[in-house]
Chains A and B, each alone.
Chain A
C-alpha cells in the first residue's frame, strides 16, 4: 500500500472545482428549504407593505416607495446572507459536516467563497422577487439605466460581507441567533427600508451610513433618480460605499480566519 494517488489537477482548476462544488452544495441545500424562503418572501413583502401604508396614513406614498424599495432589496439580501450563513454554519457544526468539509485539500478561502456564492443567490432571489413585484405593481418613478448596476452590485457585495461577518462570529459566539436578529433589525431600520436615510435626523443619518447596505441604498437611489453615478460620486455616497464594502469584507474575512483558527485550536468545529 502506498500513499493515495488522487490525480492532482492544476491549482486553478482544482480551485474552481472546489468553489463550484461548495456553491452547488449550498444551492442544493437552499432548494431543500425553499418553503422557508418562500415564506420569508411573503412575510417580508407583507410587512413592508403594511409599514408603507402606516407611514402614508393609510395610503401608499409612491415617492417614498421609490426611495425605500431599494432598501427592501438590500435588507432581504443582507438578512438572508446573515441568517442562512450563520444558521448553515450552526447546523454544520452540530451535524459534524463542517469538520468533514475541512478534511479537504482545498483552502478554506475556496470553501467560504463557494458558500458565499450560494448565499448571494439565496438572498438575491427573494430580494429580486420582492423588488420586481412592487416595482411592476406600483411602477415607482425610476430612471433605470445600466449605471444603477454598480451600486446594486456593491449592495450585494456589502450584504455578503455582512453575511460573512455573521457566519464568522457563529464559530465563536454561542448565542449568535440573537446577535444576528439584532443586527438584522438595525439593517432594516437604519438601512432606509421604512424611511429614506436622507430624512433621518442628521446625527442618525451619519450613524446609519455605517450600517451595511445603507450607503449602497443611498447611491442606488441617486442613480435611480436619474442623476447618474457622477452625482453619487460627488455626494460622497459612492466613494464611501466602496470604502465600506472593502472595509467590511476585510473585517469579515479577518474575523473568519481568526475564528476558524481559534475553533481549530479549541475543537470548536464540532459541538462542545
Chain B
C-alpha cells in the first residue's frame, strides 16, 4: 500500500498563551511535531506541562495562539469538518460519554454525530461492544457501570467511526490493573493490526514504554526530547554498567566508584555504575580481579522510561549534569 505523502499529525510552531489577570501564561510553546501514519507516540510530561492543552488544540477544542495543526493533511483551523473526521479522542478527567444513556445509545449518538447513518453504526457498535465485553450490558446506563467499563465505552465511542487517528489523554487513569490491561491490549491491537496513529499521554510510564514506539517529553510547554523509545532508553544506557559478581563484596578491599549502587541477593551481588566511562569500568574490573572477586557478568544497564523521564524533566542526568536540550531533541524522520 502506498504511504500517504503527509504526516498523520503535523504540528508546526504550535503555541498557546492564556491570559491570567495581567499576566500571560504560556501553556504550549512553539511545539513542532510530525507523527507518521501508524505510529504510536507517547507525549509525556509532568502535570501542567501542556500535554492536555496540546491534545485539545489538535482536536480543535482549544484555539491555538499561533501555529498550525494538520490531521492527515487537513488543517484544523481551515478544514475543521474534514479534520475532526480523522480523529477519535478520549480526553483526560472526563466522562467522555453520557452516563444517563445506555452504552448502545451512546455509540449510536456519537456515530451519528460524526456523520454516520444508523445502519452503518450498528455493525460497528456490535463489534466494539462484543470485543470490549460489554455486549450483554449494552442496554444498561453507563452510569451504572464500573470505572473500567465506563472507560471502555468512552474508547468504543472514540472508535465508532473507525478514525485513523486516536488521541488518548490518560486513557488508563483510575482503572484497576485488569481494566488497564484491557485498554492497553486494545491500543496495541489498534496500532499493530489496524495501523492507527495513536497519540497517547499517560503518567504510567510503564504503559508508555510498552506501547509507544516514540516518546516526546514536554516540559513547561516545550518539547525537550523526541526520540524513538529504544533510542531514548539507549541514550541513557550508554553510561550505565552492571557488574555481577559471585557472593558478596564483604571482603572487597578496593574502592567502589562514586554513585555506585549495590544490590545483593546472597548468592551474587550486582554493582550498578552510573556515569561510568570505559576507563572507570576497566579500573573497577581491575580492582575486582586484584581482590580475587569472582566475576559473573558485565552488561550495559537499560534504564526504565521512568528513570529517563525523571532525568529529563529534572533537567539533568540525575547527578546534576545538564542534559543538553539540543542533543535530546531529535526529530524522527
- Chain A residues proximal to chain B, CB less than 8 Å: 1-4, 6-9, 14, 17-18, 21-22, 24-25, 28-29, 32-33, 95-97, 99-106, 261, 264-267, 269-271
Q: Which of A3, A6, A32 touches B161 (beta carbons < 8 Å)?
A: A6
Count of chain B residues near A, Cβ 8 A: 53
State how many angstroms separate the Cβ of A104 from the closest Cβ of chain B: 4
Question: Is B115 an interface residue, CB under 8 A from the partner?
Answer: yes
Give chain B residues whose Cβ lies under 8 Å from the Cβ of A100. Answer: 89, 91, 94, 96-97, 110, 157
Are A264 and B63 in contact (CB-based, < 8 A)? yes
Given known A4-B164, A95-B94, A96-B93, contact A101–B113 (CB-CB < 8 A) = yes
State how many angstroms separate the Cβ of B305 from the closest Cβ of chain A: 26
CB closest residue in chain A, given B1:
A1
- Chain B residues proximal to chain A, CB less than 8 Å: 1, 4, 8, 18, 37-38, 53, 56, 59-63, 72-74, 80-82, 84-87, 89, 91, 93-101, 105, 109-110, 112-117, 120, 141, 157, 161-164, 195-197
12 new A-B contacts, CB < 8 A, other than A4-B86, A25-B98, A97-B96, are A4-B162, A6-B114, A21-B113, A25-B109, A29-B100, A32-B141, A95-B95, A96-B94, A96-B96, A99-B59, A100-B97, A105-B81
Are A6 and B61 in contact (CB-based, < 8 A)? no
State how many angstroms separate the Cβ of B75 from the closest Cβ of chain A: 13
Interchain Cβ contacts under 8 Å between A and B, 30 examples? A1-B8, A1-B37, A2-B72, A3-B85, A3-B164, A4-B162, A8-B115, A9-B117, A18-B112, A32-B100, A95-B94, A95-B98, A96-B91, A97-B96, A99-B61, A99-B94, A100-B157, A102-B61, A103-B59, A103-B114, A104-B114, A105-B80, A105-B84, A105-B114, A105-B115, A106-B113, A261-B63, A264-B61, A267-B53, A269-B61
**Sorted from nearest, which 6 A-B pairs have the closest CB atoms?**
A96-B94, A105-B81, A3-B72, A21-B112, A32-B100, A95-B95
A28 vs B99: C-alpha distance in the bound complex, in angstroms? 12
State how many angstroms separate the Cβ of A18 from the closest Cβ of chain B: 7
State how many angstroms separate the Cβ of A87 from the closest Cβ of chain B: 13
Q: Once A and B bind, how many residue pairs between them come within 8 Å at the CB atom?
A: 136
Given known A97-B96, A99-B94, contact A6–B85 (CB-CB < 8 A) = yes
Given known A1-B197, A21-B109, A32-B101, contact A7–B115 (CB-CB < 8 A) = yes
Give chain B residues whose Cβ lies under 8 Å from the Cβ of A14. Answer: 115
Give chain A residues whose Cβ lies under 8 Å from the Cβ of B99. Answer: 95
Are B59 and A265 in contact (CB-based, < 8 A)? no
Greatest chain A CB density within 10 A among B38, B62, B86, B113 is at B113
CB closest residue in chain A, given B112:
A21
Give chain B residues whose Cβ lies under 8 Å from the Cβ of A21. Answer: 109, 112-113
A33 vs B99: C-alpha distance in the bound complex, in angstroms? 12
Give chain B residues whose Cβ lies under 8 Å from the Cβ of A102. Answer: 60-61
Give chain B residues whose Cβ lies under 8 Å from the Cβ of A1. Answer: 1, 4, 8, 37-38, 164, 195-197
Give chain B residues whose Cβ lies under 8 Å from the Cβ of A8. Answer: 115
Give chain B residues whose Cβ lies under 8 Å from the Cβ of A271. Answer: 93
Question: Which label, helix, strand, loop or mixed, suits the secondary structure of the B interface?
Answer: loop
A153 vs B36: C-alpha distance in the bound complex, in angstroms? 54
State how many angstroms separate the Cβ of B53 from the closest Cβ of chain A: 7
Greatest chain A CB density within 10 A among B59, B94, B110 is at B94
Given known A1-B195, A4-B164, A105-B84, contact A96–B113 (CB-CB < 8 A) = no
Given known A2-B4, A3-B72, A103-B87, contact A25–B101 (CB-CB < 8 A) = yes
A269 vs B63: C-alpha distance in the bound complex, in angstroms? 11
Give chain A residues whose Cβ lies under 8 Å from the Cβ of B56. Answer: 99, 267, 270
State how many angstroms separate the Cβ of B136 from the closest Cβ of chain A: 21
A4 vs B166: C-alpha distance in the bound complex, in angstroms? 12
A96 vs B151: C-alpha distance in the bound complex, in angstroms? 13
Are B61 and A103 in contact (CB-based, < 8 A)? yes
CB closest residue in chain B, given A264:
B63
State how many angstroms separate the Cβ of B93 from the closest Cβ of chain A: 7
CB closest residue in chain A, given B101:
A28
Are B85 and A4 in contact (CB-based, < 8 A)? yes
A6 vs B164: C-alpha distance in the bound complex, in angstroms? 11
Are B164 and A267 in contact (CB-based, < 8 A)? no
Give chain A residues whose Cβ lies under 8 Å from the Cβ of B109. Answer: 21, 24-25
Give chain B residues whose Cβ lies under 8 Å from the Cβ of A33. Answer: 100
Are A267 and B62 in contact (CB-based, < 8 A)? yes
A264 vs B61: C-alpha distance in the bound complex, in angstroms? 6
Give chain A residues whose Cβ lies under 8 Å from the Cβ of B53. Answer: 267
CB closest residue in chain A, given B80:
A105
Give chain B residues whose Cβ lies under 8 Å from the Cβ of A270. Answer: 56, 61, 91, 93-94
Give chain A residues whose Cβ lies under 8 Å from the Cβ of B8. Answer: 1
A105 vs B62: C-alpha distance in the bound complex, in angstroms? 16
CB closest residue in chain A, given B16:
A267
CB closest residue in chain B, given A32:
B100
A1 vs B7: C-alpha distance in the bound complex, in angstroms? 11
CB closest residue in chain A, given B194:
A1
Are A7 and B157 in contact (CB-based, < 8 A)? no
State how many angstroms separate the Cβ of B237 from the closest Cβ of chain A: 32
State how many angstroms separate the Cβ of B30 from the closest Cβ of chain A: 19
State how many angstroms separate the Cβ of B295 from the closest Cβ of chain A: 50
Give chain A residues whose Cβ lies under 8 Å from the Cβ of B141. Answer: 32
Q: Which of B18, B96, B101 touches A267 (beta carbons < 8 Å)?
A: B18
Give chain A residues whose Cβ lies under 8 Å from the Cβ of B85. Answer: 3-4, 6, 105
A8 vs B110: C-alpha distance in the bound complex, in angstroms? 16
A33 vs B105: C-alpha distance in the bound complex, in angstroms? 16
